[in-house]
Amino acid sequence: MIPVIALVGRPNVGKSTLFNRLTRSRDALVADVPGLTRDRKYGDGCLGNLPFIAVDTGGLSGDRDDLDAMMAEQSWQAVEEADRIFFLVDGREGPGGGDEVIAAALRRTGKPVTLVVNKADGIDVEAATAEFYGLGMGEPWPISAAHGRGVEKLLGATLDGLPVPGTVPADDADAGEDRVRVAVVGRPNVGKSTLINRILGEERVLAYDMPGTTRDSIFIPFERDGTGYTLIDTAGVRRRARVSEAVEKFSVIKTLQAIAEANVVVLVLDAREGISEQDATLAGYIAEKGRALVIAVNKWDGLDPHARERIRDQLDRKLPFLGFASLHFISALHGSGVGDLFPDIEAAYASAMREFPTPELTRILEQTVHEHQPPMIRGRRIKLRYAHQGGRNPPVIVIHGNQADRVPEAYRRYLVNRFREALRLVGTPVRIELRTGKNPFKGRKNKLTPRQISRKRRLKKHTSSRKR
């Protein structure tokens, strides 16, 4: 088993910075804002050939409000899962009352804990670490997560005491690549986290009746019916004019990155608030990225027939370009309709990742052109000759021909619809690339033979005599 290291401590002591340092990534949001991290975030790390899993957690503030209590629950769940705990404290601020409470709680768990004094650069290390002996957590380890000082030494000492396999198993190394990445996106407070918790059957991510609860993209691996998935819980995306905080701007960027990295996107809409312009904008971005899509209209329970009809009408008017996506009306809170999402997610993924033989695509193209020929351009008929596959996720079909670059947009849509119908593709957009063949004689002069020159002269002489 690969060891798990959980990072815990008060808010803003540098847990996310250390997480990024350990995983050699920028997956965790980092800002000088307490309470930025709210959910558990997992990442893979490696020291030489020794692998490990790092878990970033929310800050343990000790506040009693609902949100802080839920954040604390997420942190303690990470502690239960971990083989080793890194208890981070702030070397510049010194020990506080919150540190003593956390230390006492960690001792009760019986887990091995390493006291890590972060932000130890630019200060008297011996004086700074001496203050933390009173926590009763053993010898403090001074580090600087921001600059990497002392991190490798700390990690080496930690992994030496854990049962770590010598190499990363091939199955584990490739597991992330084989999993279907499903990003759950939508506006703030539409029920994304509630939907993920319902799918997983546990309170894996924070679900709170406050917009902006989720600030980072949370990757959650799980299995369903023998298929490996990675669910991605994302921050809500609002209109750009309403995004003012720097943290929220980074959250939106992480959401857009999650869409680009996903295989399938589940777009969650709020039935009670209706389909907004922001929903249409986000849907347009998903379609532009070419991601397979499943639409989930949440909070469908309790709506009267008139309200339901209004939502259906809005879907037809505001999202007409998503005709390829399957549509589901669900209640994430009560679970109705949630189980029907995965058959369509699997079908959309299968369509997006299919491979097509060139003869089949060319045959479909010939039949399509036979039924409805391309238009005339400057008195010349556009000729489309053959087709082949140019990519997956989404499927890209490359069509070669003469004047292919002049094909009108309407005929391009006709080609997309015919290929989707003939190939039985569901839940995924189809990209058409039209390429015009090069003229091999372009720029070359036609050299006439002596006989052709003589004939040309006779013809020219005959033509001039007739004009007289």
Count of Cβ atoms closer than 10 Å to residue 49 Cβ? 10
Where does the chain hold its CATH 3.40.50.300 domain(s)? 4-170, 179-350
Strands 84-90 and 376-377, bridge-based pairing: unpaired
Instruction: Evaluate the CA torsion angle 291, 183, 302, 274 in order and state its sign.
Output: negative
Distance CA 115, CA 84 (A): 11
Judge whether residue 206 has pLDDT over 80. no
CA distance 48 to 220: 26
Mean pLDDT of 119-136: 84
Q: What are phi and psi of 43, to 5 degrees?
A: -150, 150
pLDDT at 158: 82
| Section 302-323 average pLDDT | 91
Question: What tokens were used for 178?
Answer: 């084989």
Three-state secondary structure call for residue 84? strand
Helical H runs in 292-431? 305-318, 341-352, 358-371, 409-423
Say yes or no to pLDDT of 366 above 90: yes
- Phi/psi region, residue 33 (left: phi>0; alpha: psi -120 to 50; beta: rest), is beta
Percent residues over pLDDT 70 in the chain: 81
- In the chain, CATH 3.30.300.20 covers 354-468
Predicted local distance difference test score (pLDDT) of residue 1: 57
Question: Which uninterrupted H or E stretch holds 130?
Answer: helix 125-130
pLDDT band for 431, please (50, 70, 90 cuts). very high
Helix (H) or strand (E) holding 444: none
Q: Residue range 365-375: average pLDDT?
A: 92
Specify the residue for token string 């692998």: 51
Region 423-441: what's the mean pLDDT?
Answer: 85
pLDDT of residue 326: 92
pLDDT band at 197 (very low <50, low <70, confident <90, very high): confident
Q: Which CATH number fits domain 354-468: 3.30.300.20, 3.30.2320.80, 3.90.79.10, 3.40.1180.10?
A: 3.30.300.20
User: CATH class for domain 4-170?
Assistant: alpha beta
- C-alpha 305/C-alpha 24 separation (Å) is 52
Evaluate if residue 240 carries a pLDDT over 80. no
User: Which residue(s) pair with 298 in the sheet?
Assistant: 270
Of the candidates 187, 190, 215, 178, the one whose C-alpha atom is nearest the C-alpha of residue 285 is 187
pLDDT at 237 over 80: no
pLDDT at 31 over 70: no
Q: What angle do CA 106, 111, 116 make, to 5 degrees?
A: 65
Of the pLDDT bands very low, low, confident and very high (cuts 50, 70, 90), residue 252 is: low
Which contacts of 354-363 are long-range, i.e. CB under 8 A and separated by 24 or more positions? 354/392, 354/395, 354/423, 354/425, 355/389, 355/392, 356/389, 356/395, 356/397, 356/423, 358/386, 358/387, 358/388, 358/389, 361/386, 361/387, 361/388, 361/389, 361/397, 361/419, 362/386, 362/387, 362/388
CA 4 – CA 83 distance, rounded (Å): 5
Confidence check: pLDDT of 20 > 90: no
Of the CA atoms within 13 Å of residue 95, those in its CB half-sphere come to 21
Residue 245 CA to residue 188 CA, distance in Å, equals 15
DSSP 336: B
- SS3 breakdown of the chain: % helix, strand, coil, rounded to 5? 40, 20, 35
Q: E strands along 29-140, which residues? A: 41-47, 50-56, 84-90, 113-118
pLDDT band per the 50, 70, 90 thresholds, residue 439: low
Average pLDDT, the chain: 80
Architecture of domain 179-350: 3-Layer(aba) Sandwich (3.40)
Q: Name which of 331, 81, 347 is nearest 198 in CA terms.
A: 331
User: Tell me: the pLDDT tens digits for 7-18?
Assistant: 988 888 888 889
Q: Which residue has the higher pLDDT, 176 or 112?
A: 112
